[in-house]
Amino acid sequence: MKRKIKVGILAALAGVLWFTAACAPLPPLPEQVELESYTSVSYPELLTPRISKLQPGQKIKVPAFFWQYLTYDPAMVRNYAHLLRQPRKWHKLEWFATYGTRDMQGYFDLAALDPALVKDYQPRRLDHIMIYGELAALGPGLYLRVHRIERIEED
């Protein structure tokens, strides 16, 4: 009987250690954003990362039209099977959606901002913006962890 209890305790401890290791913290944002280190990609390339050969860890900049901050987690269903591998603070990311054109073509809802950056970036609907960020793995796809947003001035 004591042996079963010891095995059970060891199994529970191993499970807690595995869970803790699987739920890594979000990687820190860069202290300084060096704009020249970001590769320019087109919006269609962002929508088709596998075809465009975009990779996790790649720093990109892409022009887009802001749509809205989301009230749902766009990665929940896609990533359900991989939930244990998500960072502990995943739920604190502020997700937002963009379009590739002003006439709302090419919807992308896998861009995420840290809560501290949301206060700094308050774009309005269909504002033309340049997004600087790093691609990160999301199950079979990628999401864009945003480092900076700049408004593109139009004539």
pLDDT of amino acid 81 = 46
pLDDT of amino acid 26 = 61
pLDDT of amino acid 71 = 83
Instruction: Please answer whether residues 126 and 66 qualify as being in contact, where contact means their C-beta atoms are separated by less than 8 angstroms.
Output: yes
In CATH, the number for domain 27-151 is 2.40.50.140
Residue with tokens 């960020």: 133
pLDDT of amino acid 154 = 76
Helix (H, G, I), strand (E, B) or coil at 58: coil
Q: Any residues with CB less than 8 A from the CB of 73 and at least 6 apart, and which? A: 90, 91, 95
Q: Is the pLDDT reported for residue 17 higher than 60?
A: no
| Identity of the amino acid at 50 | R
What is the percentage of the chain residues whose pLDDT exceeds 70?
Answer: 73
- Where do the structural domains in the chain lie, given as residue ranges? 27-151
Q: Any residues with CB less than 8 A from the CB of 142 and at least 6 apart, and which? A: 49, 54, 56, 110, 135, 136
pLDDT tens digits along 59-113:
999 999 999 998 877 766 554 444 554 545 556 788 999 999 999 999 999 999 9
CB burial readout 82-109, b (16+ within 10 A) else e: eeeebeeebeebbbbbbbbeeeeeeebb
Evaluate if pTM is beyond 0.85: no
